[in-house]
Amino acid sequence: MRLYLAIAVLMLALVAYTEAQEDTIEQKFAKFTEQVSQVGEKLGEQFKTSYDDFQTSEFVVSSRARLNEFIEWVKTRTQ
């Protein structure tokens, strides 16, 4: 009787183990592509934020203004 009980417990453990196995290759690939797309989105958002911060920085705004003044100055000098 104990032998049958031990075999039944081992079979239940084997079934539980096989159900808890790792994901299939297809599932791993799906997870990987999802992670890559999330990283890409995050990097894109960070780049956009950094670019917007750069465009509105004091250095860029003042440099753009000075460049426009210089271009206008050159235009008036050449006419």
Q: How far is CA 9 from CA 12, 14, 29, 34, in A?
A: 5, 9, 34, 39
Q: Is the model more confident about 12 or about 40?
A: 40
pTM: 0.53
Structure confidence by residue, pLDDT tens digits, 1-27:
677 677 887 777 777 776 666 667 888
Q: Please name the residues in contact with 32: beta carbons below 8 A apart, sequence gap of 6 or more.
A: none
pLDDT at 60 over 70: yes
Q: Give the model's pLDDT for residue 19.
A: 64
Q: Give the model's pLDDT for residue 22.
A: 67
